[in-house]
Structure 1
Amino acid sequence: MTEIPTTMQAVVMHAPEDYRLEERPVPTPAADELLIRVEATGVCASDLKAYAGAAKFWGDENRDRWVEPGIIPGHEITGEIVRGSEEALAKHGVAVGDRIVVEQIVPCEECMYCRRGWYWMCDPHDMFGFKQYNGGMAEYMIVPPLARAHKISKDIAPQHAAYAEPLSCSLHAVERAEILFEDVVVIAGAGPIGLGATIGAAHKTPKLLVVLDFDDAKLELAKKCGADLTLNPSKVDIYQEIRDLTGGYGADVYIECTGHPSAVPQGLNLLRKLGRFVEYSVFKENVSVDWSIISDDKELDVRGAHLGPHTWPGAIKIIEKGDLPLDDICTHQFGLADFQKALDSVADSAGASVKVSIVPGL
């Protein structure tokens, strides 16, 4: 049996912009829980928004923070199972020594959404690293019985395994788009979500897959992920380019993956009549658009996308097959002691990072 220390290093939230590296007891799993040794935890825009002290918690206007004080953040998690009863292991279909990735949400299984099978919209909406359940920015972490765990190969780098979370989200956005073979698809953004959406959309084999970004290096990555054409809006007139490619009509599908307010009206204007707009982003501010474009002008389908329901097996398969240039996507890894550098790297939109991870072993 693996020897487990009594204490561990963990990043702990105390207040907005006040995260601290602390020594905490290694948690002891209950009879229905698993204990994992965390191997990597990705850092994303929602982590950054929580760190800054967001004004809402999943739509609840009465809450003044995203993360409860005392909670360990981090929801893009992979780790090795080091403890677990027969009951807990059987519940998840795993064994001690397996490497797993865990879905971000721990659904209650009791609310209307869970009872109807819409677990990713669970009403309490307890997520790892935000309020009730400690996340992965630590050396060890509990996986509760209601969590959803998936085995993933130990032959890939930990930061690549942790990318299963953003990739599953990207694939859900692609599913929401209902891409057809004859479609011209435009994806805005070549960050972690946009690149995942690119490979997902490429697997749908549309007529043409176009990716937009202001960073030429990221556009090169998009080509490696399956983009047929990449456009830099600072260098070309993307509206004219898309019109020329579509006989003047506009794109069939637009998937927004930037989180920048300007990308929303951009998409509405790039789409043809009866086109499909999918939103998958974390915005820092409210977005205003001319709703007449959606209704009177074009009768658009506007669809949100949240988390990655039912897409984790597909994301894991893509990662394990080596279909993605993950060394180029997972650009920056930091140890727990450098968690602030990790957060700052994500915040630096002009920097060289694509996907940032915290790897406790570093």
Structure 2
Amino acid sequence: MIAENLRHLRVFLAVAECGSVTQAAARCYVSQPAVTQAINKLETLSDRPLFQRSPQGFFPTEAGEILRRRAVRAFALIDPALAEIAPRLPRIATRPQLKALVATNETRNFTLAARVLGVSQPTVHRAIAQLEREAAQPLFRRSPQGVMPTRASTALARAARLAFAELAQAEAELGDLAGREVGRIVIGATPLARSHILPRAFAAFRANRPRLGIKVLDGPYSELLAGLRRGEVDFLVGALRDPVPVEDVVQEPLFEDRLVVLAGAEHPLLAAPPDVAQLAAWPWLVPRENTPTRVQFDAMFDAAGIARPESLIETGSVVLMREMVQDGRHLACVSRLQAMGEVSRGMVRALSIEVPGRSRPIGLTFRTDWQPTPAQSQLIAAMRAVEGAKASPP
């Protein structure tokens, strides 16, 4: 990995800023041969020259500018957290040490952290001990139950995750410049996105990017949001939150969606438009509590002054909803767009009742100040082109 050696990257930035090996060596407290060796190593790993050499100095190439921009952003994230612990840590902390700190923060156990990293337990313990020795303070509190990170350790781990994500973006962009597909795009997706937006966007994206890896994560919104904020997820797609859940993310609406009530093809409530009191008597499949869909579902009964249904199965799976609803003994509350496929194939039908409440904004969620790679930008453009708002209701 081009970003494996943080000290080499710092030397590279010094050369990019000074335009001189001599000045960079003085700034980084290393020899001129060490600077030359670091630059040569980075150029070998990137498979492209990072500098144009001339009598006037060193000037970043296109590849060098990509790496410079991403490295500046990475160190702007990590250096304040390092300096807060100890002033000299930004100069001496290594990537393996920081990876050990991140893994130990996540697992709260040296053995589990070693397993995550694929190294031995003494290696992790030694890396943490080296950081603590340089910091002149503990970064974890030991107990029989495990190790608990200090406040400073937690802040450093979060900064390191985001910095590593930024350097991974550099790897992807340099690969793109060389005509290679490097890395993968990680998306946190809600059920609606997985059934409606992603299939169409992926089909368009694959026409230009047939080999780039894509990973789609599902799970509760809170877990996906946490992964986004840690830098483990590139962006989220699905129902937006009002208000924005935290200050370090931004939301972009793509289109609006409404909710429908699904029933089996022979359900008795299909004979005439039902009222809310009739709906309350049936068993339901509904999303988890505190999701936008569930809030609207509960509000439908509250607004009518009718007790909410007691027989509920909480799920985000359209497949489970479809299978349960087809028997004619259950109802389901789900996104109109999410249910379009099942309705169009005649598997289920939508009741003639409108779930009250405004339409839900569906869109993208990013980290504030996140800068996508060209490949990520292409996939986002494909999602923006999905005409969800124009789809006719079932």
TM-score range for the pair, normalised by the shorter chain length: under 0.3
Q: TM-score, normalised by structure 1?
A: 0.25
Q: TM-score, normalised by structure 2?
A: 0.23
More helix by share: 2
Structure ranking higher on relative contact order (CA contacts 8 Å, 6+ apart):
1
More strand by share: 1
Larger Cα-atom Rg: 2
